[in-house]
Structure 1
Amino acid sequence: MTTFTDFGVPAVLTTALAELGITTPFPIQAATLPDSLAGRDVLGRGRTGSGKTYAFVLPLLARLAASKSPRRPGRPRALILAPTRELATQIDATLAPLAAKLGLRTITVFGGVGANPQIKGLKAGVDVVVACPGRLDDHLRNGHASLDSVEITVLDEADHMADLGFLPVVRRLMEQTPRDGQRMLFSATLDNGVDVLVKRFLHKPVTHSVDSATEAPVEMSHHVLHVRGDDRFPVLVDLLAAPGRTVVFTRTKRRAKVLTRQLVAAGVPAVELHGNLAQNARNRNLAAFSDGSAETLVATDIAARGIHVDDVGLVIHADPPVEHKAYLHRSGRTARAGNQGTVITLMTDDQQSEVRDLTRKAGVRPKTSRTRPGDPLLAELAPGERTFVKPAPVAPAAAAPARTAAPSGSRPRRARGGAGRGRGPSEAAVPAQKSSSSRGRRGAGGAGNAGQQRSASSHAGQTRSGSKPVHTSQSGGGAAAFSAGTRVGGRRSAR
């Protein structure tokens, strides 16, 4: 069995990995490490969940540790570019503990949070910057940092950066890094201009492609549930009331917000993730989903890339996506790192042709079944006892304490269950948690972005004080609003 040591990864890093239970490289890591550790430019192609983060983090840290270059204020020695705040945060979560073992400093740079702490951190001197392109470009333009000392540059999820329109600023940033530096680019596909980046900035790159970006992993089972419009919400609630983590995708930010509120009112602890949330709310909601406080995350396509939470056993397309790449990236939140996972698409009569075309282009052959609430198939797809949590009672408006005006750009707080005042789903304040006596029921066990980082939520099965789970066969509220639906070809913003 080949180990990280066999590839030349320093002992301090292999020991740190072993402490995390990581001893054997995944295919993308085994394929790229010999070249990346040798300082060659690398083009890594592989679908989401294949373990790409460690594939570039390990050689980056090993080479920085071996370099004699000093750390200087405002001049980072390595740069990792990522398309979303969440992905940048999760890359740093993988990177920082290993960097600390080598005495190296890291920092994250992205929008949606205050700029001053980032400016101070850059001026204090860091070894590795993990950044989203826009905010980093702002800092460079304002003279807070320079990229002229960058020895290693990594572009992660380059195709997603292209999809989001970041390529012009990425090119501008890359042009500010030394030409003789090492560059690594990881992407699921090379379309939409990613090939231009490869030709322009990578010098004789060694290409490694470990799996097809246009095919779903074999560990993933695909199902289409053909439902009546007014059955969509009860069917969804039935699936989500089973134990285990689930990511539910909607087409628009508003639908994510409304559906989350409806689910909480129906007794399913859920949190939302979309572009209208302030960064602190995103962080709280992801933390609640990660630690098990809420086992359902309702998200737009902002979470289709870069959101890596252990043990996601089920992905539900409440609104089928517009294109097949989005279907594959959404679905990639489960069946990670060789683990099993289930993907369900809810389809109404008027969506049949779109869903058929979508799955054909995605290269999957889902099992399609007509389904009604109470169908035994739902228990097969999401096994385990259904548990509902009674929402906390809403206090009368007159009893609500006075509050100061919310800062510009923040979301107003809403009550648990989606009405009145207080903290709502977006604040990660679900009233209680479902019983987790049957956790893991969908064969999940996937890892973080690297595909190997383990969950640390040992208390995920605890129920919050003051609320009692209510076991019932009824699913409440929200069906009419949810059943209104969004057509596959809708044009409203999804982030």
Structure 2
Amino acid sequence: MPLSQSTTPARSSRRPRRRRPQRAPQQPKRSLFDQVGVTAVDPAPFADLGLPDRLVRALADRGMVEAFPIQAATIPDALTGRDVLGRGQTGSGKTLAFGLPLLAMQRGSARPLHPRGLVLVPTRELATQVTDALNPLAKALGLHVRDVVGGTSFTRQVDTLRRGVDVLVATPGRLADHVRQGTCVLSEVERTALDEADQMADMGFLPQVRALLDLVPADGQRLLFSATLDGDVDKLVDRYMTDPVVHSLAPPAASVDSMEHHQFLVTAADKQAVLTRIAAREGRTILFVRTKHHADRTAKKLRAAGVPAGALHGGKAQNARTRVLEEFRSGATTTLVATNVAARGIHVDDVSLVVHAEPPADPKDYLHRAGRTARAGATGTVVTLVTEDQREAFRTMAAQAGVKARTTSVRPGDAALARVTGAREPSGVPLTAPAQPRPRTPERGTGRQGQGSRADGRRGRPRRGGARRAG
């Protein structure tokens, strides 16, 4: 007799699943900057901060008597030997905030190839700025500050390191080249400063930075300055800093307060004419574009219209970049067309207008580009050219940056354009392009010109046989 199908449901042999308790949403970790809040510090005389008398006199000789708040907050703690973590808006004086303690605490002269102080920065231009700021002050103490960056002679840098460098300012890639070649040894570094640490993270340098910091004595002092403590920078703090004193002078969005922000709605057909009229204004102007090709093309169009303009980007050899900046500083050119290579670390006085020819996608890029004006208490104007298809993206980015931009539709001859920016009709007399430096023979040890230790400081693999003198 066949088995009939039971009408009673079979009992499952598996146990019923237990419902997992729902986890509360994990709160994002608060950074040390957020935990301490904003440090309220007034400016103070350098003479009251504990610096050596010779250094105070050297500062006074250069017209610097009173420290900015970021300096007044961090220098006394740094002089005690504590690790210091600092944040200050662009143009707030961070270079001297870490540079003066590095100079003041040097004891004796450095041995050949063995620097005693180290400053890591993301770009060549920032390295030059730091070196130029500290060198005159170092001379008052009988010390030497030198930089090693990509795009310049490796051989000359080796000669400099062999003569002894008290404070070395370096981009991570070029310093890694010297370490691998044995032309720089980090075992005697007593104090290390990291400037613009968040930009080094954004540019992908942190693996190199960690490799270099692993070679520095663990008991040395660390001074780290950063606009933000994003994940990778936070890891640096956790791994390499011991109970740091934290000073947060201002969140990144605070820098927008001393600027006027404008959103100019333009058509694609009018955009170049609007840019040209803005660039023809009186006063120093920086136009930010996205690519190296766009920078060169825009500068060429401006010169063809009679506007003295120069292009600055990472594809240029270092001597060309230096020349472009010097012409802008001296007033030989009044408009600088730049990619993000100039968004941080370039200090040129009296830049009264910054123009985003294309809206940046990242709010940090907006803030650091904008920070080329309204530096050290001055005021300035920031203009972003926005086409109809870019309006929504700009609105989102501006909100994230804490920026409230006044919106105006403009055409080349509009009075509003002239009123906000000082735009005017260019002369129309073409200007010849600046003479280009003769290409140099690539250096062995740094790879192809502009790469091995790249324009932005990235590492290149040196060839065997050391460095060869450039032709």
TM-score, normalisation: structure 1: 0.78
Instruction: Verify: 1:34 aligned to 2:73, yes or no.
Output: no
Structure with max Cα Rg: 2
Contact 1:50–1:337 (CA under 8 A) maintained in structure 2: yes
Q: 1:57 aligns with which of 99, 103, 126?
A: 99
Partner of 1:23: 65
Q: Using the alignment, how far apart are the partners of 2:92 and 2:44 within structure 1?
A: 17
Task: State which of 206, 229, 237 in structure 2 corresponds to 1:190.
Answer: 229
Structure 2 residue identity aligned to 1:290: R
Residues 5, 216 of structure 1: CA spacing in aligned structure 2 closer, same or farther, 3 A cutoff?
closer
In 1, distance between residues paired with 2:231 and 2:348? 28
Letter in structure 2 aligned against 1:5 = A
What secondary structure sits across from 2:285 in the alignment? strand
AA partner of residue 32 (structure 1): T
Matched, 1:272 2:314: no
Moved over 2 A (4+): 214-217, 382-394, 403-411
Q: Is the 8 A contact 2:113 2:183 kept in 1?
A: yes
- Contact 1:79 1:153 (C-alpha < 8 Å) held by counterparts: yes
Report the Cα offset of residue 240 of structure 1.
Answer: 1.5
Shift of 1:123: 1.2
The residue type equivalent to 1:139 in the other structure is H
Letter in 2 for 1:247: I
Offset from partner CA, 1:171-202 (integer Å, 9 cap, x none)? 11111111121110000001040011111111
Whether contact under 8 Å (1:269, 1:389) holds in the other structure is no
TM-fit CA distance, 1:392 = 4.7
CA distance in 2, matches of 1:171, 1:287: 33
Determine the structure 1 residue equivalent to 2:182: 143
Give the AA of the match of 1:57.
G
Separation of aligned partners in 2, 1:129 and 1:71: 11
Superposition TM-score, scaled by structure 2 size: 0.82
CA contact (8 A) 2:276 2:426 kept: no
Describe the SS at the equivalent of 1:59: helix
**Contact 2:117 2:167 (8 Å CA) reproduced:** yes
Paired with 1:382 and 1:353, the residues of 2 have a C-alpha distance of 24
Alignment of 1:393-432 (within 5 A): 407=441
260-269 vs 3-12, greater mean Cα deviation: 3-12
Deviation at 1:380, TM superposition (A): 1.6
1:357 maps onto 2:396 in alignment: yes
Task: Say whether residues 1:228 and 2:303 are aligned partners.
Answer: no
Equivalent of 1:374 in 388, 397, 413: 413
182 and 350 in structure 1: CA distance in 2 versus 1, 3 angstrom threshold: same
Matched residue count: 400
CA drift at 1:376: 1.1
The whole-number CA distance in structure 2 between the counterparts of 1:380 and 1:319 is 21
Are the equivalent residues in 1 in contact too, given 2:115–2:164 (CA < 8 A)?
A: yes
User: Match for residue 471 of structure 1?
Assistant: none
1:410, CA displacement in angstroms? 6.9
In structure 1, give the amino acid aligned to 2:180.
R
Distance 1:180 1:235, change over 3 A: same
| Aligned mates of 2:319, 2:119 — CA distance in 1 | 22
1:157 to 187, 190, 196: 196
Instruction: String of CA shifts for 1:10-32, please: whole Å, max 9, x gaps.
Output: 22222222222221111111111
Distance in 2 (alpha carbons) for counterparts of 1:214 and 1:244 = 26
- Structure 1: state its 5+ residue gaps: 395-402, 412-495
CA deviation after TM superposition for structure 1 residue 385, in Å: 6.7
Amino acid at match of 1:350: D
- Indicate how the Cα distance of structure 1 residues 9 and 358 shifts in structure 2: closer, same or farther if over 3 A, else same: same
Look up the match of 2:339.
Answer: 300
Give secondary structure in 2 for the equivalent of 1:345: strand
Deviation at 1:407, TM superposition (A): 5.0
Measured after TM superposition, the shift of residue 384 of structure 1 is 7.8
**C-alpha deviation, 1:390, in angstroms:** 2.2
